[in-house]
Structure 1
Amino acid sequence: MSILKQIQESMKKNNVHYYIIPTNDYHQSEYVADFFKLREFVSGFNGSAGTLVIEQERAGLWTDSRYFLQAETQLPKEITLHKLGSDESSDFPAYITENIKAGQAIGFDAKCISTSLGKHLLGIAEKKNAKILLDVYFADELWKERQTLPKNTAYFLNDDITGENISSKIKYITDVMKEHKCHYTALTKLDDIAYLLNMRGTDVTYNPVFYSYVSIEFREDFNNYTVKLYIDDEKLQEDTKKYLSKNNIQILPYEKIYDEIKFIKNKNMLLDESALNFMLYTNIDDTNSIVDILSPITSKKAVKNDTELKNAIYYHKIDAVAVIKLIHYVKTNIKKIDMSEISVSDKLEEFRRQCDKCVDLSFDTISGYKDHGAIVHYSATEETNYKLEPKSILLLDSGAQYLGATTDITRSISLGTPTDTEKFDFTTVLKGHLALSNAVFPENTTGSQLDTIAKEPIWRENLNFFHGTGHGVGAFLNVHEGPMRISGAYNNVGFKRGMVVSNEPGLYRAGHHGIRIENLVYTEFDKETEFGKFLKFIDLTLVPIDLDLVDVDLLNSQEKLWLNNYHKRVFDEISPFIEDKELKEFLKQQTRQI
């Protein structure tokens, strides 16, 4: 009997009608440790976003456009794919609302559900005269070879990497607590905690974070407060314990917060319900009042300080050398040696790790050749691994974690003589990329406003793409970082100087090829006038854009000027880091003026 069937049998026995298995861990993370990959265990789908909803006689998985093709390949026929954002599919809470009957039950592990979602599901149940169950673990009980929660070593960073000490960051959040007259807060997002404490870890692959919680509690007079870190003791070496003690951080067991939060009474609590798990929320005493706002640390860490920007600028140059080496390797060897999607990905990692400050990759490299490039978040396996040939396009989306910066870059690389369609598609995407790169906009303009700037040149050709145009990126932290983003979905977070975001329009023709051009950029002041402060984007990523794929006749004079200026900057700033004469000559050719 399949895992799915066994779960459905348990649901029938226990009178559970909707069993929700999200992607999340206890901290609502996008990327999670292997211990939390229950959805993948049950469904076979391993994308980083998606929710599985199992009913007694059927099951469905909800995911976004990045994963449509992947999910169609990986899901068994018993699980229906629901395409978020398409006309024919609503989200899974709406689906449950439409189908649930009085007396039925919705079950899930409340630690893996956000408070915002948990309250929404509770509202659905109350409206439909149904009920919710917070502790349903049918999938957990069947996963006999499940890994344990990671207990890897966490470590602290020096101020020359972070640019701000722990005391200053704690003062920032306590000042926000005073402003809102709140005596208690709990930080639950792993990257928020790592940022606040100037610490990093290796509990989640590619994300330098560690499983933990932090609480801060004021006394009634707001003069004194206590900071507690809830973490498995074995994660901390003696020097880290001394560092925490020196900064007056108390250390308690990881799970202890669930008990301790029960004893907070008659307090105003500053909490981010989008990040707080629902089990913690249900443990809060009713005498407390909750001020639900976006975590102040999430907003603060999105604006990089001068040290973080300086590190980003430097390590993007180091990263550029590795990517240029890879492009040279592929283009010069395409007719000489056997190469594949996986071997090229491995070679790029090898080039990156030649820098001793490269800690890890920042995500699993997307190496998609020909039609695999049209699978937005494709992941090559031994079974799907294409051999590269001297034709078509290789889409390579990759990044690294350096001791001070996080990189993310996509290049579409021509491996032969491109077709007219390939050049047209690439140049159209390039025009969208250049439009956003050239944008000048008022401070506090939102990402949903900026999104149309990148998409207009693509829409003009009656083409489109359905993933976000840009996401925030951490400073030696998560490669996807909020709260800002550039996408058609509404977002009310305004851009400020120092924010780092991606610029990555794309175009995907299923069965043929995929194109994406991605640079990381940071926001800088352009000019202040009587109409306010205006911002612009400065490129962090300095890697040639493949001119073999550009149809110059489709570019206007401003676009040609930008491309020429960008490539001159790439050569001027990256060539001093390259000693090999052949590679430097290759870079010169790749950055030629058009």
Structure 2
Amino acid sequence: MTQMISQTFDVKGGPHYGRENVPKIRAALDELGLDGFLIPHEDEYDNEYLPDCNERLLWATGFSGSAGAALVMKDRAAVFVDGRYTLQVKNQVDGGIFEYADLVEQGMAGWIEENGKAGEKIGYDARLHSPAALHQLQVAAGRAGVTLVPVSENPVDRAWTDRPEPPMTPVIPHPIEYAGEDHGSKRARIGKIVGKEGADAAVITAPPSIAWLFNVRGSDVSRSPLPLSAAIIDKDGTATFFVAPEKITDETRAHLGNEIALRPESEFGAGLAEYNGKTVRVDPTTASAWVLESLRGGGAEVQQAEDPVMRPKARKNAAEIEGARQAHIRDGGAIVQFLHWLDTFAQSGEVDEIEAAQKLESFRKQLPELRDLSFDTISGAQGNGAFAHYRVSEATNLKLAQGTLYLVDSGGQYPDGTTDITRTVPIGAPTAEMRTQFTRVLKGHIALSMVRFPKGTTGTQLDVLARLPLWQAGFDYDHGTGHGVGSFLGVHEGPQRISKAANTVPLEPGMIVSNEPGYYKADGYGIRIENLQFVTEAADIPGGERPMLGFETLTVAPIHKGLIDTHLLTADELAWLDSYHAMVRQRVLPLVSGDVADWLLKATEPLAGATP
């Protein structure tokens, strides 16, 4: 697999993108007889990370964030972002061309309803919109007297004459020792689910689902080992894999066998049309409106339901859990070397965010198993740490200054697992306030680690445990507490999550989730403590009446004791921390030596005996 490890710190984008490219888009609108065009961030695969050829929003506006949209009209334009990007969008997008608008409260639908002119025709590419999002846009357009027009040729693609070629990296088999189940067994299981619920077949459009189902991986996008493709699985377990022929090697062809038909991805539309008169299951949250329209246009009956691969993929089997455990031990060795470096060399106050991120990357790169980072490292010093999803660039780079906190959120992709860890470290002496807030975050983290809960419990029901110590003091954080994580797949995986937002998916044994409460003081510092953990069947509780589930922690790296106010911890919390640090010492000590080993021994010394 092609390695795509190194992180760059020159953020793409800027006001010149819009100045140069909006006129080109407007020329294409004239040629197509349109008054405007909708440009979402999403691509045809609804990916978290986009290949360069699908960065349409960036090319049109100059905005490089991970969520957003734009609407380019002949005489006006708007760019939409959420609260994370209100400052970034003003730096990257020309306010003389684009109106800055809110992606969440107003959105493109609200803007069309308020600003659309009767008789205007606004184009859209049905491959880039979910059915629900498109319906909302159509309702708003109807109220404004605007007509939404599907296009066969995307005007952005038409105007983007130097658009990069689509990625053509090889699809490679994912070994059974890591997958834990061959793809024939998986397909049989998924086929039964499809047939039991009354469908003849299911369309699978999410690249992680396809990779899991066929036991393959790729490198078409950075940070997630995915081959961009599409698939249809029939209720008998046979399947069709729509993928560029150039990506399939002889080894992969043999791996897939004769129950998976290979067809060029360009024939996906024709493949959908072949289900005339049959019932086809489609997930409206991951498949595009184009998929539903193509099926219905071909005479199929569409059954809208959750991607049948999603939950089986989320419930990791024994091999996947063991792979995750080994990946985290290996990753923990690199993290411990980095934490030692932070506690020694970086205490000078002269190290900056980029240098720190590169140092961490250098430790991970020493591991021959590393295939990629699992996301761009969040390396936040001083006030930058208060931006939960901060991305360091040459323009924002700050020093790890004395008397401040440094927050680092990072992860690696290994053939046996995906890691994601956040640690907060003091540079110099922390203030009493920093220690108090860190300890409150730690208390929430420990509560979510120790909890026992009955079958059927969702992450939404557990979320308050991580927030309670902060709430009681009048604080909170504005991101979710936990997301699912894939097995050498995406670092963000559904359908489970731990969040205030309503989620009806019960936590089940084998599901991996993050545990990452935080606190962010604007212009001051950020605190987050993140471990990955998986759901397991808990030991029987003496005197209990019902079997319980719990969590087992995967991440192995010290939590900085210099930031802990032990007077705020209970005896049980201190015992959990000492037990966790004993596990870290046992698993990671064999991987380090010399000064690093000495540091690790000190960093994991028990706190028991400290007065709670």
Equivalent of 1:590, from 603, 606, 610?
A: 603
SS at match of 1:147: coil
CA distance in 2, matches of 1:110, 1:96: 17
Matched, 1:167 2:180: no
Change (3 A) 1:281 1:563: same
TM-fit CA distance, 1:559: 2.2
Change (3 A) 1:489 1:73: farther
Which residue identity does 2:222 align to in structure 1?
A: T
SS at match of 1:496: coil
SS at match of 2:306: coil
Equivalent of 1:369, from 377, 381, 390?
A: 381
Deviations 1:224-281 (A, max 9, x none): 564211111111111111222x242111111201122123211111111111122222
The residue that corresponds to 2:62 in the other structure is 44
Matched, 1:283 2:294: yes
TM-fit CA distance, 1:107: 2.3
CA distance in 1, matches of 2:111, 2:136: 13
SS at match of 1:479: coil
Alignment of 1:329-340 (within 5 A): 329-335=341-347, 338-340=350-352
Deviations 1:456-480 (A, max 9, x none): 2112221121111110000000000
Change (3 A) 1:546 1:59: farther
Equivalent of 1:295, from 307, 331, 351?
A: 307
Which residue identity does 1:206 align to in structure 2?
A: R
The residue that corresponds to 1:535 in the other structure is 549
TM-fit CA distance, 1:336: 5.5
Alignment of 1:108-507 (within 5 A): 108-126=124-142, 128-135=144-151, 137-217=154-234, 226-244=238-256, 246-286=257-297, 287-335=299-347, 338-507=350-519
Matched, 1:74 2:114: no
TM-fit CA distance, 1:62: 3.5
CA distance in 1, matches of 2:447, 2:523: 28
Deviations 1:367-401 (A, max 9, x none): 11111111222222223222333331111110000
SS at match of 1:524: strand
Alignment of 1:515-594 (within 5 A): 515-527=527-539, 532-578=546-592, 580-594=593-607
TM-score (norm 2): 0.90
- Contact 2:116 2:145 survives alignment (8 Å): no
The residue that corresponds to 2:123 in the other structure is 107
TM-fit CA distance, 1:128: 5.0
Change (3 A) 1:54 1:512: farther
SS at match of 2:538: strand
Change (3 A) 1:18 1:518: farther
Which residue identity does 2:254 align to in structure 1?
A: K
The residue that corresponds to 2:610 in the other structure is none
- Contact 2:279 2:303 survives alignment (8 Å): yes
SS at match of 1:507: strand
Question: Structure 2 stretches of 5 or more lacking a match?
Answer: 1-18, 608-612
CA distance in 1, matches of 2:229, 2:280: 19
Deviates more, 1:337-346 or 1:567-576: 337-346
CA distance in 2, matches of 1:490, 1:97: 28
SS at match of 2:302: strand
Change (3 A) 1:43 1:512: farther
Change (3 A) 1:536 1:233: same
- Contact 1:523 1:538 survives alignment (8 Å): yes
Change (3 A) 1:82 1:510: farther
CA distance in 1, matches of 2:360, 2:28: 46
Which residue identity does 2:278 align to in structure 1?
A: K
- Contact 1:114 1:274 survives alignment (8 Å): yes
CA distance in 2, matches of 1:94, 1:533: 48
Which residue identity does 2:285 align to in structure 1?
A: S
Which residue identity does 2:387 align to in structure 1?
A: I
TM-fit CA distance, 1:14: 5.9
Deviates more, 1:551-560 or 1:584-593: 551-560
Question: Structure 1 stretches of 5 or more lacking a match?
Answer: 219-223
- Contact 2:108 2:137 survives alignment (8 Å): no
Change (3 A) 1:388 1:337: closer
- Percent sequence identity over aligned pairs: 34
The residue that corresponds to 2:80 in the other structure is 62
Deviates more, 1:473-482 or 1:556-565: 556-565
Which residue identity does 2:583 align to in structure 1?
A: R
- How large is the RMSD of aligned CA atoms in angstroms? 2.3
TM-fit CA distance, 1:129: 4.5
CA distance in 2, matches of 1:126, 1:461: 48
Which residue identity does 2:584 align to in structure 1?
A: V
Which residue identity does 1:175 align to in structure 2?
A: K
SS at match of 1:279: helix
The residue that corresponds to 2:7 in the other structure is none
Deviates more, 1:338-347 or 1:165-174: 338-347
Change (3 A) 1:128 1:384: closer
TM-fit CA distance, 1:154: 1.0
TM-fit CA distance, 1:528: 6.0
CA distance in 1, matches of 2:354, 2:267: 43
Deviates more, 1:445-454 or 1:381-390: 381-390
TM-score (norm 1): 0.92
CA distance in 2, matches of 1:275, 1:406: 22
The residue that corresponds to 1:221 in the other structure is none
Deviates more, 1:12-21 or 1:454-463: 12-21
- Contact 1:166 1:247 survives alignment (8 Å): no
Give the total of aligned pairs: 584
The residue that corresponds to 2:45 in the other structure is 27
Change (3 A) 1:264 1:467: same
Deviates more, 1:567-576 or 1:31-40: 567-576
- Contact 1:152 1:202 survives alignment (8 Å): yes
Deviates more, 1:161-170 or 1:55-64: 55-64
Deviates more, 1:52-61 or 1:19-28: 52-61
Change (3 A) 1:186 1:8: same
Change (3 A) 1:428 1:269: same
- Contact 1:16 1:107 survives alignment (8 Å): yes
Which residue identity does 1:592 align to in structure 2?
A: E
Change (3 A) 1:122 1:532: farther
